[in-house]
Each structure stands twice: as C-alpha cells, then as structure tokens.
Amino acid sequence: MAQKPGIPKGTRDFSPSEVAKRQYIISAIKHHFETFGFQPIETPTFENSSTLMGKYGEEGDRLIFKILNSGDFLANTDVTLLENKDSNKIASQISEKALRYDLTVPFARYVVQHQNDIVFPFKRYQIQPVWRADKPQKSRYREFYQCDADVVGSKSLWQEVEFVQLYDNVFTSLGLNGVTIKINNRKILSGIAEVIGAKDKLIDFTVALDKLDKIGEDGVKKEMLEKGLSEDAIQKVQPLFNFTGTINEKLHKLNTLLASSEEGLKGVEELRFICDNVTAVGLGESVLDLDVTLARGLNYYTGAIFEVSAPAGVKIGSIGGGGRYDDLTGIFGLKNMSGVGISFGLDRIYDVIEELKLFPETVTEATKVLFINFGDNESLYAVKAIKKLRESGIKSELYPDAAKIGKQFQHADKREIPFAVLTGAEEIANNTFTLKDLKSGEQALVNLDELKQKLQ
Amino acid sequence: MAQKPGIPKGTRDFSPSEVAKRQYIISAIKHHFETFGFQPIETPTFENSSTLMGKYGEEGDRLIFKILNSGDFLANTDVTLLENKDSNKIASQISEKALRYDLTVPFARYVVQHQNDIVFPFKRYQIQPVWRADKPQKSRYREFYQCDADVVGSKSLWQEVEFVQLYDNVFTSLGLNGVTIKINNRKILSGIAEVIGAKDKLIDFTVALDKLDKIGEDGVKKEMLEKGLSEDAIQKVQPLFNFTGTINEKLHKLNTLLASSEEGLKGVEELRFICDNVTAVGLGESVLDLDVTLARGLNYYTGAIFEVSAPAGVKIGSIGGGGRYDDLTGIFGLKNMSGVGISFGLDRIYDVIEELKLFPETVTEATKVLFINFGDNESLYAVKAIKKLRESGIKSELYPDAAKIGKQFQHADKREIPFAVLTGAEEIANNTFTLKDLKSGEQALVNLDELKQKLQ
C-alpha cells in the first residue's frame, strides 16, 4: 500500500541544516528578548473558535484553519443547512476549535485569563508557529513562525525607545548591517487627515499614502482623488510626497504642517521623545528613520508604528514590524490595558541572511568526529573513548557497522564530518588513537587527552 | 462583546516559569542528542490525511484531529451521505489534512520523500508537539511534546548500546538518579510463545504478561486461561513469574527456557551483546535491567524494546520508551529500512523533577536588575547603563514609569528580581550607581564596571 509521500501545500519540512540556521536566528532573538527582561510564554496550538473568530476581520475569519470536531460531528447539525450545503453556517456547528492565527490575540486572551497571576507591566515574548489558509506563494507559507515581544500595562514611551534598541541589537548581532528601523505614529496620520479636512477618510488616505513607494506620487494622488479626497486636501499634503531630511528636519516640518491639530502635535511630541532618546543612547549598525507614509495595521495601532526594512540592495518586504495599541485586552473584557510590541519575520530574516551569506560556517557543523568501525572489539574501545569525548561536549559517533573502510570514510565525507579516528589492534595495545584530519589528510597518533584537546 | 476567556480542554498555557523549566529539560535532551551525533529535523504541524490515516489502528484514526477544508467545503460532498449524517464518510470528503499524531510516521514519510538527500545511516532527532483527541485526564493532554531520536538504515546493535547510554546521560545530567532502563527483545517474547506452543497467541500472551506488575501472578494466569492458553503452557512459563537476579542470571535462565527456539536464542544473544557492552562502557546514575514482561507496542517492534521508569518512590508511568522496528518506511514504499529509536516523555519527566525538587533555582531566574525610574532625565542615564549591562548578557530593565518608589520596589519583589539600581541627581553627577541587594537590603555605591562585575 505504498503511497507517494508529500506534504500539504504551503508547509515545509526542515532539514538538519535548515533547522540549525533557523535556530541560530531564533537563539539571537531569544537572547536579546531575555536581556531586555522579556519572559517566554506558550499558548496552545488551537484555541476555542470563539477566541479567534471575528478578531481579524472577515478575510481573517476565512483564513483561519478550523478543526473538525471529533466523533459523530454531524449528529447535532441542522439538516436544512446540510441540504443547502451552507458551508459557512455548518462550519460553526461542526468545528469548535481553530489553529492559532497570530500570537497577539492568544496573548490578549492569556493576559485576561491569568490576570491575577501576572505582575504588570508584563513583558512577554512568544516564539511559536501560526497558520493561515492563505494562497501559498514565494516566501508566504501556511505554517510559519512569529517571534513577538510585547509589554502590556504601561504607557511609558521608554518602551518604544527600548523596542528600537531591541531591533538594533538583534539585527546587529546577526551581522545585518544597515537595517532601517522606520517609525511613525498613528496620531500624526490622524492629525494630517484632520488638518486637510479628511478626518472621515483617514483609512483611505493612509492606505493610499502607504503606496508611495510602489506607485509613486502621481499614483497616490490619483487614488486619493478616486477615494473622494479633494484637490485642495491633496494640495495640503504636498510636502509629504517629498519628505526628506534628518529626523529633526522632518519633525520640524510636521510641527508646521500639524500646527492646528492637537492630536497631530501630540504625535510629533511622542516621536521626538523616542527619536531623541534613541539617538542619545546610540544604535549599533541600524539606522532609525521617520517615515510618515508608514501605516501598517492602522485600525489596530494607536501610537507608535514600527517597520524594519532589510539592508539596501536586498529586495524583500519588511523583516519586522509592530506598534502601540491602546486596548489590547478589551475584546476579552479587560479594559485600559495599553500594549506595545514588535515582531520579527523569521522566514524573511532567514532569506536575507542567506542572500548576504551571513550564516557563520559553524552553524551547520554537526558531528565533529567519526570513529571507524573495525569490528566489535575495536568498537568497544572506541565507544569508551567516545563516551569521554561526549562528556566534554564533543559531538562524536561510531560508524555503526564494520563496513569497508572506504565506505565509512565516504560517509564522513558526505556528512562533512571533519575528523575520523582509527582504532586498530596497535592503537588499542598502546592506548592511543589515530586521528585523521579529513580535509588535510594529515594523521597523528594521540592519547585520549590529546584527542580531546585537538577536537575541542 | 467581552467573552470569558478559556482554552480547549486537554490543552495548556505555559507561564514564564513553566516555559523555563520545560526548556531546561529540552535543552538537556537536545544537548545529549547532539553529542551523540543526532541531527534535528522538523516536519509540518499538519500532514495530508492519507499520510496519517490507517497508520495507528482504528482507535488511532479516531483520535487524529482533522482539519476542515477551507472555503466552500460542502460543495462537492455527497448529498445522500449528508442527509444520512454519515460523519465518518463525510469527514474524508471535507477534510484532507490532519494534525501530527506522533513523530514516527512523519519521520518515515520524511525519509522516503527526501531519501535522495539523506546520508544513511541517518540519525535524526525531533522535538515537536503532537495532538490526540484522547479523553483528557491527569498527565494526559491533547497537545503534548514528543522528543524522539531514531537511527534509520543500520541493523547494528551498537545503536541499542548507545541508546541506553543516551538515556543514562540525559537522566543523569538532570539529576534523576536511580532511573531504571528496562530492556527486552521481541524475539524473546516470540520464543517463549513458541516454546509453550502458543505461537498463535503471542499478542494475548504478552498483553497478559505485561500486566504482572499491576494484577500479579494469579491475575495474569487467570487472563491467560481466559485467552485460551493451556494450563500446560502456563506451567512452562512459571519461571517468568518470579524472574529475579542479575542480568546475567536472567540471560542464563532464558537460555535454558528458550533452548528449543532459534528465534528466542537469537533474542538472548542480542540482549547479551547489548547488556555486556553497556556494562563494559559503564553507566552514570541509571540502572539497566532486563524485564521479560516488557512488551510495549509489540506489533511494531521487531528487536530490542526499551522502557524507562522513574526513580523508586515516584509513582508515575514510564518516562521514556522505544525499540527497534525492522520496517519503518515500508508503508511509504521504501523497503528494508531498519530503524531503532527512543522517546523521552517531557511532561512526566517534568512532573518527576518537580516532585523530587530537582529544578535548579537558577532555571526560573529572569531579570537580574531593575533600574528605578526617577523621571526622564534619570532614565536616560539609566538606559545608557542598561545598554552596557545587556551587552554583557545581564538581564536588565528600567521600570517604565516614574511611579512611586515603593510601587517600583514592590514590582521587583513580586517578580523576584534580586537587585535594584537607583540613579538620582548625585549618582548622575558622579557617574555612579546605587546598587541595592533586595534580599539582604545592603546598598553600595559603585561605578559601571563594578556594577557589571557585581551582577555577573
């Protein structure tokens, strides 16, 4: 009953070297999360559907993977709905659990559920996979990891300062020099909309402005007109289309542009606080920039908005993003909990590091030494030595079968194992080992201590 | 629209200290997997249903979580089946993916799918969650981790020797002294059945024998009679009911008992090789024992069978198990691939370590030092110092708001942060820091280098 094996579209197997590279990135992110005082939590792979449905918009509901109830799931369904093949309504009758769609909603649910055990402000990180029934395409998967850090329960702008530092620390430690950490503020976008008399068109306005990179000034203006913004309003935002200069120059321009909007000026003030302090503390290899076109998930964010773009020359979307949302847990009944957080895009970071050839060679180094198998007596001698090497953390193996020597060396070669050890009658008699460097071909007769030293 | 938040039964949230403790165990397991030359792979959370269904028996099929197809999933279903509410048949029409049920079948699928990229013998480990729609009960969850190491493509018994060592290394490093690694061999069970003339009743015989611990000699005999074993046959296995002594003594008894069974004697020979070599190489704090009643997953294993029990006094089921299976990948069309592997029961190991109070105190140590927030100017000074501490790997935080000092100290206390730093006007003027040990209450005025040293 052989089947041609495969995996569902949009999912991936990860080979040993891929796992090692992913772990290298995740370890860097975890390390910095922890030095910043974030603590890990984990939530279940599936949540009650009621926890997830309705939290990500109509499109989101459609993309949530639903789990079929176990047992006789049709028993209590409505026959008329079945006959009408009403998939939508039947779905909620035969499925009460769904796969995690992001880490933010489960985090909000966690905070509310465990609010009595949590010390606020609560700094948590979470690195777990999420699932979306999206159309799979290049760099878009149905199963992928999210790496999130959030603080809930504090409105302090020092959090925003720290998140910029955190991005910088992670990317600098990964060798990704020249990453741009873009920052904006929802209040600035609201202020602009207010100033140009298009407060009711905030979403249309920002969605259009967000496309400046892609469709250019004319394209954005055309879209704004189509969405009902007036010529006059568009004229007023003209400075935004060529919004260059240092952060201070940009803040100055915004101050002028937003002079009549209280909310807008508040946004400028917040941005100034964040940027001034980030500059005063200093960044590593990343660059901070103010990008007034940055809108991401506008409905969600209420203050700072972050997005990170890869070093110049690497064509890829954002490798991180986040922001502040003033009512994280309200959907679950806990009001007035301000949250702010950022996310790292593991898959894209992986692609960028791969493209720039920045993975250290040691990342994928697995077994260090293969002991050649000459038969059971020799193997016992080998296994005793291997035990000592492993105690010193040296990854060591015995070739399991007394196969032809050539085959065993070939195995070491294919697996890129750098050293082999030979233990024949003579070595055993003298309590020594012949260590062979498989790259140079050099051989040396050594005792156990020397062997350990050479391999460490 | 507040909802009372909760999670599906049989699933768990993990708090920061729980994640830390779980990671402590997983890190130990990973470390030893890797020193033994095992390499990590990861497979998708959901597989095509055809990959999983029919691989775990009828009961297994029932316990597999199925994922509802996206979109209009009822469109192409059979109306008659719908009208008859035939859940079973409809399930396969509206669900083509299912959650991973164990790590072995996905591993077999992986090996076959990637056979051209794999160097055999292939030593892989995999630490990922699996899901079963089991009735939740104490220590049995619907979502739980499996930690598996397997070798595929070699029949060498040195693998079995190494797996015993691997168990010992992991449990010894976790401080779990006195773990018993029980070993048996399918061929011995077959041999016994053959010798007593009950070859056709092998399963009934071993299932009964496996219960010796629980229902005692009389209970086992009663069950054997009920299953149709003869009085005569039961008389022949009498030695097994009081099967004590050293491993060598047990092997000697088995040699006599199985003298007329070729297969049985082969099993004795295999066990002798494994036990002799394990003894010659030496174990840490674990004990190896031969347990002829050990049967676990008999249909599956063809050679060695392993099971690990917790130190005496801890009442819990097995904390690990495994064995050899001669045809791992045949179900996916790749014949003659012998596999052997072991698994660690993360949840039970966690419970045992908790019960014996063996988690090191440092495991749950999160943030080391909290900088008290005296306002924005002082905070900038603090954040600059925090940056330096973090570069040295010291987990450091600024309290985000300039709240009352008492509240800030209370926060440190609740979070069990051991140190606080105060930075007032005087400290800033002198480029110093007041470091307070929150346990002893001692204070010291230090410079940045001293601060780093004291916290490291």
Distance (Å, whole) CA A27 – CA A92? 39
Tell me what ipTM this predicted complex has.
0.95
**Which single residue is written with the structure tokens 């015993």?**
B164
Angle at B454 between CA B449 and CA B456, to 5 degrees: 95
Distance (Å, whole) CA B230 – CA B239? 16
**Cβ-based burial of A299 (10 A; exposed 0-12, middle 13-18, buried ≥19):** exposed
The mean pLDDT value for A331-348 works out to: 94
**Best interface-test mutation with A: which of B390, B396, B408, B419 has the largest number of A CBs within 10 A?**
B390
- Mean pLDDT, chain B, integer: 94
Residue B1: pLDDT band (50, 70, 90) is very low
DSSP states of B263-309 as a string? HHHHHHHHHHHHHHHHHHH--SS-EEEE-TT--SSTTT-SSEEEEEE
Residue A433: pLDDT band (50, 70, 90) is very high
Check whether A1 has a pLDDT greater than 50. Answer: no
Other beta carbons within 10 Å of B121: 21
Interface contact A35-B390, CB threshold 8 A: yes
Is the separation of the CB atoms in A337 and A295 below 8 Å? Answer: no
Interface contact B13-A63, CB threshold 8 A: no
The mean pLDDT value for B393-420 works out to: 97
Run of H or E residues at B57: helix B57-63
Q: Nearest by CB to B281, which of A1, A151, A383?
A: A383
Binding-site residues of B: 102-104, 132, 146, 150, 296, 300-301
Q: Is the full-model pTM beyond 0.90?
A: yes
Is the separation of the CB atoms in B192 and B237 below 8 Å? Answer: yes
From residue A425, how far is each of A384, A401, A421, B281 by CA, in Å?
15, 18, 13, 18
Check whether B298 has a pLDDT greater than 70. Answer: no
Contacts of B206 (CB under 8 A, 6+ apart): B189, B193, B295, B298
Check whether A279 has a pLDDT greater than 90. Answer: yes
Chain A environment of B396 (Cβ under 8 Å): 35-37
A382 HSE (CA, 13 A, CB side): 29
Check whether A317 has a pLDDT greater than 90. Answer: no
Check whether B172 has a pLDDT greater than 90. Answer: yes
User: DSSP secondary-structure letter at B347?
Assistant: H
> Class of B366-455 per CATH?
alpha beta
The mean pLDDT value for A300-309 works out to: 93
- Provide the pLDDT for residue A138: 81
Long-range contact set of residues B281-284: C-beta below 8 Å, sequence gap at least 24: B281/A380, B281/A383, B281/A384, B281/A387, B281/B161, B281/B165, B282/A387, B283/B164, B283/B165, B283/B168, B283/B172, B284/B168, B284/B169, B284/B172
Q: Nearest residue on chain B to A390, judged by CA atoms?
A: B35
- Provide the pLDDT for residue A214: 86
- Provide the pLDDT for residue B24: 98
User: Residue A424 is encoded by which pair of tokens?
Assistant: 């024949």
User: DSSP secondary-structure letter at A140?
Assistant: B
Chain A environment of B63 (Cβ under 8 Å): 70
List the domain boundaries for chain B: 10-179+310-364, 188-285, 366-455
Q: Nearest by CB to B41, which of A15, A40, A151?
A: A15
User: DSSP secondary-structure letter at A200?
Assistant: G
Angle between helices B262-281 and B247-257 (to 10 degrees): 170
Name residue B110's amino acid: Y
Angle at B422 between CA B417 and CA B423, to 5 degrees: 140
Distance (Å, whole) CA B296 – CA A155? 56
Is the separation of the CB atoms in A148 and A367 below 8 Å? Answer: no
According to DSSP, the residues that pair with B325 across neighbouring strands are B339
Interface contact B48-A8, CB threshold 8 A: yes
Per-residue pLDDT of A251-275, as tens digits, reads 999 999 999 999 999 999 999 999 9
Q: Nearest residue on chain A to B51, judged by CA atoms?
A: A5
User: DSSP secondary-structure letter at B238?
Assistant: G
Is the separation of the CB atoms in B370 and B399 below 8 Å? Answer: yes
Check whether A227 has a pLDDT greater than 70. Answer: yes
- Provide the pLDDT for residue B317: 85
Check whether B244 has a pLDDT greater than 70. Answer: yes
Per-residue pLDDT of B341-389, as tens digits, reads 999 999 999 999 999 999 999 998 889 999 999 999 999 999 999 999 9
Taking Cα atoms as reference points, which of B109, B126, B129 lies closest to residue B50? B109
Distance (Å, whole) CA A170 – CA B279? 47
Per-residue pLDDT of A369-401, as tens digits, reads 999 999 999 999 999 999 999 999 999 999 999
Distance (Å, whole) CA A337 – CA A34? 23
Check whether B38 has a pLDDT greater than 70. Answer: yes
Contacts of A355 (CB under 8 A, 6+ apart): A314
Is the separation of the CB atoms in A247 and A129 below 8 Å? Answer: no
> Class of B10-179+310-364 per CATH?
alpha beta
3-state SS assignment for residue A121? coil
- Mean pLDDT, chain A, integer: 94
Per-residue pLDDT of A19-77, as tens digits, reads 999 999 999 999 999 999 999 999 999 999 999 999 988 889 999 999 999 999 999 99
**Best interface-test mutation with B: which of A1, A12, A13 has the largest number of B CBs within 10 A?**
A13
**Cβ-based burial of B312 (10 A; exposed 0-12, middle 13-18, buried ≥19):** exposed
**CA torsion, ordered A152, B402, A305, A231, to nearest 10 deg:** 130
Name residue A365's amino acid: E
Per-residue pLDDT of A349-373, as tens digits, reads 999 999 999 999 999 888 999 999 9
Interface contact B41-A384, CB threshold 8 A: no
* Max CA distance (Å), chain B: 95
